[in-house]
Amino acid sequence: MVLIYISYVTAADSNISAMSAMSEKGKNNSTQEASIYIKIIWGLIIGCLTYIMLSTKGLDGIRILSLLGGFPALFIIIFASISLLRFLFNKKLLRLDEED
């Protein structure tokens, strides 16, 4: 249980840092940290969602959230696959080195 807790806290901390940096204007450098108030707000949102899902649905609620979180990644993978296939079947792009 301790390892599961440490794993969740580490993942949540990384996600909170990334979400707070993306939601604050003017943070274009990866070394710049977002303000502590934005991090607290995101931390409270993540913590409240976790508590609500665990208290109402148990571990099945966490599984539902992870499925919902992975759903947008499905579209990214589909679009990347389509662009790879278009690149592979586009003969003009494959023969660029022969034109020299």
- Tens of pLDDT, residue by residue over 8-59, are 788 888 888 888 888 887 666 566 778 889 889 989 998 888 888 888 887 7
The pLDDT value recorded for residue 57 is: 80
- Tens of pLDDT, residue by residue over 55-97, are 888 778 777 777 887 788 889 999 999 998 888 887 666 665 5
The Cα-based distances of 43 to 61, 73, 85, 94, 96 in angstroms read 19, 23, 40, 48, 50
The pLDDT value recorded for residue 18 is: 83
The pLDDT value recorded for residue 41 is: 92
Enumerate the domain spans of the chain: 2-57
